Structures are given as structure tokens and as C-alpha cells.
Copies of this chain bind each other. A is one copy, B any other.
């Protein structure tokens, strides 16, 4: 199968996957674009348009089979692939990923974490060993890693990214304040910026206040 799907649709797919999981968990077998739209705050036609990008799935008068749709989307996003991840920086955010993020669910095995802190190096968190960052290249020589999550201070991130790329790590999941381009040399990058969503929330609050209090 060949998919050529726009970036915007790709960015919407994880959200579809989440809602379809909820539907599956609630025992739903099929769903119409209207029902799914109501659940997700989208119009039925937006949903049909998105789904048409990768061949439809739906049947006139039936709607979508929840499980099939969910599986097809997971396949498009590559969840079925077995991938390995590491976490660089075992501070609070790194620990949050190590302890709470469901890597398995998204097709990843978390194999190691790296840090510089003597109190962390040599320990295990939720069965994930923490190695000294000096051992990064040695580790990457012996172990294939698909994605490195960057949960280290921004100041040190650039150097680490260069090392990861030089060692052939293809995926960077960046939580630092730096922003790397989506295609960064041979690597692919996703930047997660907490501040962006807080600012969007601030904007929504400002608009709400305007509506309620009249023009400020």
C-alpha cells in the first residue's frame, strides 16, 4: 500500500487513534462519521475528508468498523513496527517518561537512559538502566536505537543531538527549549514545547474574558 498523506492529516491521526481506542474500550463495533465527529468536535465532512486521504475505510450506510479503522491508522503511523527508544536526561521529566509513558503501546521498547549525575548513573528506574552519557557512543554501537527522547537541559542539547546523529540515531523526540528542524540532516525530529500549549490556553482565556466582560 502506498500512502501519501498531508502533514496536517498525519498530525490529526494520533487524535483519531485515541478516540477510536476509547470507542473500542466502550465496546463500540461501528461508528458513523457523524458520531465520531460529535465525540471529537469535528464535522462529519471533515472526518470523511481525512479518511478519504488514505482510501476511505467506510461503507455507505454502515459507517466505520471501529477496530479496523483503529488498526489501519495504527499501521499508517507505524505503531506495529518494533522500535527501540532511549531517554537522555533522567531528571524529573526523564523520570516521568521512564516511569509513566506507555512506550510499548506505541511500538517502542525503552532500553536505556543516560545522565551525567552520579546519583543517577548505575541505577535503574522502572527497570530502565541509567548509564553515563560518556557511554552513549559505545551503547549506540552495540544497540540499535530508533528514537532518543531529549529530556536534558537545553544548553547541552545541541551537542548531544550531534552525537546522536553521528551515531546513526534516526529519531529525536525533543523536549528541550531548543527547536530542531523536522528534518535535521539524516534525522527526523519532533519538538514538544509545553509553553506553546500554555500560550494557546492563555489566548483562549483572554478571549473568554473578552466575551464575558465586553471589550476590555
Q: Is the CB of B102 within 8 A of A96?
A: no
| Assembly CA distance A103 to B115 (angstroms) | 25
Which A residues have a C-beta under 8 Å from some C-beta of B?
2, 10-11, 13-15, 17-19, 41, 76-79, 81, 83, 91-93, 95-97, 99-102, 105-108, 146-147, 170-173, 179, 181-182, 188-206, 208, 215
| Assembly CA distance A79 to B206 (angstroms) | 10
| Assembly CA distance A194 to B100 (angstroms) | 11
Q: Is the CB of B200 within 8 A of A78?
A: no
Q: Is the CB of A196 within 8 A of B96?
A: no
Q: Is the CB of B197 within 8 A of A106?
A: no
| Closest CB in chain B relative to A205 CB, distance in Å | 5
Query: A92 contacts which chain B residues (CB < 8 A)?
Result: 92-93, 95-96, 99-100
| Assembly CA distance A199 to B194 (angstroms) | 17
